[in-house]
Amino acid sequence: MASATAIMASTSGSSGQGGGSPSATATSVASQSPKAQEVMEYLTTHELTQKLNDIVNACVRARADDPFAFMATQMHRIQQPATITRVRVVRLLSSVHVSVYGKCYQPDQLCGAGSVPQSDPPAATTTSAEEISQALTALLKGQGLADLVALDQLVSDLSKEWAPAVMPSLSTALAISVSQASHLEPYALISSICFGQQKKDSELAIPSPLVEVARPRASKYRAVGIVALPPGQPLLSQLQRAQTICKVGDGRASSGEHTRGVIVRVQALESVGTVAANGTVTIDGKKFDDVLNVIEKAITSTGVVLGEQVGIWVDVGADACFVAEANEYEVDGGASASREELFAQYESMLASHPAVSALIDPFHRDDRDGWALFANASARRCTPISSSSDPIPGAAASVSLSSTVSQAIQDARSAREANCDVVISRRPVEGPESIIADVAVGVGAKFARFGPIAPAENACKYDRLLQIESALQAAK
């Protein structure tokens, strides 16, 4: 009879007038009146409990042969699964923090609440928030919040010109809503989708951040950063080292500074370059070797042991320097190099700078003969990383939230099935969403590349990694 008692105890007060909790009210009264305390003690006696059970069971037997099965069925009917309403759709839309509308004439543009930016071309066709809200409501209203993959598929099939722009943020909002409805942290939900079962927090791990700290001015190489060695060190110490090595100074933005067509604000690594608000530096050097020398000197000056505690990664950017017609690469100085000559340059770099532990895009994504050169024993200690999600044998694959969370999970799964490590990377243009950190943990990524630490849109991602790390440590 314990089950009937429990149900009766939890539901009997619902008919009380005033809408308050009977137990809370009784407790309050009991604390003020000895007589009330005596009454409350009587209510907990076995005699009254048995009488209440008899009443409940008599009512149930009148309607069913199996009282407990009948009660369970009724409870299931009452408990409706969480569904999406118009109010929720509007909130999903408002969770897109960027004030942008329009025909998706720019990549990675987001749709949300706000006014049309002044920078928009006058001829741009704008799309109102109400139009977007109505379309999403028609698409999602009444859908259950149990299956993120099914919801993402609906979003992916949306045939609107603004759909690609709003899709990442909408999918992010859906993932958070599903995780809340499932009473799971987003990283736990993502892990259960990726691996087909819910893993314990103690089985999950924090990826090693690839923190960007510098950009060479006079080189085709795109960026340089640091990564903790060996991987798996506490995240806070990794980030503290990055901030120690790359301090934000008092520099101011300079509209005339450009690197590879991207505006680079005044930047500096200690006193060796020019400082930017995002915490990275632009370093001058006739040769890229000079840039690495400057960075290595800056790292060792902080007391960090280069090559033991911290490694260096280089974003080579060879995917943008490949000349398909000639089957060659354009290198610094305007010269051309074959894949073998380019690989020889990498070997020379690794010999002179053994702390370099990863190269990003050392070859074009389709130059499989070039990537195969990294199977060479002399280069095995250096991890080649592709910025593409397409698996390349022997290289780590980069996965970003360019469409839906489910697609990012599938890309990571495909990379793992091809025996490739996974790097979770932020998109070139991304708002202050932090769920990409949950994706990194949930899919078991080896590395996370969120850019410099200083910008707010990046800092929230590192903060989320720290929160997850704290939760995982508490579970061990």
> How much is the pLDDT for 338?
93
Q: What is the DSSP letter of 148?
A: H
- The confidence band for 343, taking pLDDT boundaries of 50, 70 and 90, is very high
pLDDT digits (tens, 9 = 90+) for 211-256: 998 888 777 888 999 898 877 778 887 887 777 666 543 333 333 3
pLDDT at 70 exceeding the cut of 80: no
Q: Which of 44 and 236 is assigned the larger pLDDT?
A: 236
Cα separations (Å) of 81 from 7, 77, 140, 193?
Answer: 21, 10, 15, 19
Q: How many helices (H) and strands (E) does the chain have?
A: 17, 16
pLDDT at 264 exceeding the cut of 50: no
Q: In angstroms, rounded to a whole number, what is the distance separating the alpha carbons of residues 93 and 163?
A: 12
- The confidence band for 273, taking pLDDT boundaries of 50, 70 and 90, is low
Q: In angstroms, rounded to a whole number, what is the distance separating the alpha carbons of residues 262 and 314?
A: 18
Which residues contact residue 144 at a Cβ distance below 8 angstroms, ignoring those fewer than 6 apart? 81, 82, 83, 84
Q: In angstroms, rounded to a whole number, what is the distance separating the alpha carbons of residues 315 and 307?
A: 18
Cα separations (Å) of 188 from 130, 144, 207, 209?
Answer: 33, 19, 15, 20
Hey, which residues does 215 pair with through a beta bridge?
282
- Ordered by start, the domain boundaries in the chain are 2-78, 86-183, 208-475
- The confidence band for 7, taking pLDDT boundaries of 50, 70 and 90, is very low
pLDDT at 67 exceeding the cut of 60: yes
> How much is the pLDDT for 249?
38
For the chain, the average pLDDT equals 75
Cα separations (Å) of 436 from 186, 192, 194, 448?
Answer: 10, 16, 14, 9
Strands of the sheet containing 322-323, edge to edge, are 322-323, 328-330, 336-337
Highest-confidence segment of 44-48, 77-81, 144-148, 323-327: 144-148
Strands of the sheet containing 447-449, edge to edge, are 208-209, 447-449, 422-425, 396-399, 383-386, 356-360, 310-315, 223-228, 211-216, 281-283, 274-275
> How much is the pLDDT for 45?
62
Mean pLDDT over 379-401 rounds to 89
The HSE-up count of residue 443 (CA atoms within 13 Å, CB side) is 33
pLDDT at 36 exceeding the cut of 60: yes
> How much is the pLDDT for 303?
80
Task: Indicate the CATH number for domain 208-475.
Answer: 3.20.20.120
pLDDT at 13 exceeding the cut of 50: no
The candidate with the shortest Cα–Cα distance to 178, out of 141, 137, 146, is: 146
CA triplet 252, 253, 256: central angle to 5 degrees?
Answer: 130
> How much is the pLDDT for 325?
84
- The confidence band for 257, taking pLDDT boundaries of 50, 70 and 90, is very low
- The confidence band for 29, taking pLDDT boundaries of 50, 70 and 90, is very low
The answer to whether 222 touches 260, Cβ cutoff 8 Å, is yes
> How much is the pLDDT for 156?
92
pLDDT at 100 exceeding the cut of 90: no
pLDDT at 292 exceeding the cut of 50: yes
* Tokens (6 digits) for 210: 């690839």
> How much is the pLDDT for 419?
93
The DSSP code sequence of 358-409 is EEE-SS-TT-HHHHHGGGSGGGTTSEEEESSSS--TTSEEEE--SS-HHHHH
